[in-house]
Structure 1
């Protein structure tokens, strides 16, 4: 009986590990598609990875150094990306921690943002994603923004 139980635990662990790796790859692809859409100015590509009622927020400091939180509607962001503009919006991230619990995932990703080839700002993106029948969708993004002390 002990052997059967140990075998079942081992099989479950292997299956869970494979599922976690597949979900991690799908989550990264979803986020990379977001940034591909930004670089291409493709609002359709952006919308393909956003859940309905997705929320965008940013944490920054005002002139006195006080933290401020701003909220932007996803449709405004999508419109800005899809409206023709001269400079490429190039956000370069490094995937940090990815946590998954069932149909919810959280991703921590330091980034540097460039307008064309010119550095603009850096910070950290935090993504919340929901696993849907169509795949992983971004339900929430909050980021920090600063011009210095950027992670290399």
Structure 2
């Protein structure tokens, strides 16, 4: 008769679980996300371009006046206009979950966004990345815009 321990171990091996990087991939992935946000916060298209693909897509979801509003735009569109204007941005995220399989990664994290020092909204950021020529590049971002759902202290 097999022991409970060996049966549980065999069962655990049979259950498919998402691959989570066990090496320094998570740090490299989060570095790309951090740099993307640094480029946004500093309004510097060169920083964003260095860690993303021009073909990337931004998709936002919000509820406005009781209706869903979904906005899609390319990274190229944002890069062309990010240096315009005088507003200051501050987007930060916390407690990221990083999933990796081969050369594909996803980062899911709560975030907050301030405009000119005032909190405008919070939500969930989902960064999609691919390892391209040895570097993790952001290929797409989906995020929610939740003006009334910001945690205190963040």
TM-score range, shorter chain: 0.7 to 0.9
Please state if 1:68 is matched with 2:72: no
In structure 1, what is the equivalent of residue 32 of structure 2?
A: 30
Q: Displacement, 1:101?
A: 0.5
Q: CA deviation at 1:97?
A: 1.2
Structure 1 residue runs without a partner (length 5+)? 1-15
What's the counterpart of residue 9 of structure 1?
none
CA distance 1:101–1:124, change in 2 (3 Å): same
Query: Residues 3-42 of structure 1: CA distance to partner in whole angstroms, max 9, x if unpaired?
Result: xxxxxxxxxxxxx98x633110001100110111112111
Alignment of 1:125-140 (within 5 A): 125-140=125-140
State the superposition RMSD in angstroms.
1.9
Write the distance in 2 (CA, Å) between the matches of 1:38 and 1:51. 15
Would the aligned equivalents of 1:95 and 1:107 in 2 still touch at CA under 8 Å?
no
Contact 1:34–1:45 (8 Å) recurs in 2: yes
Please give the secondary structure, in 1, of the residue aligned with 2:100. Answer: strand
Give the deviation of 1:120 after TM superposition: 1.2
TM-score, normalization: structure 1? 0.80
More helix by share: 1
Contact 1:98–1:106 (8 Å) recurs in 2: yes
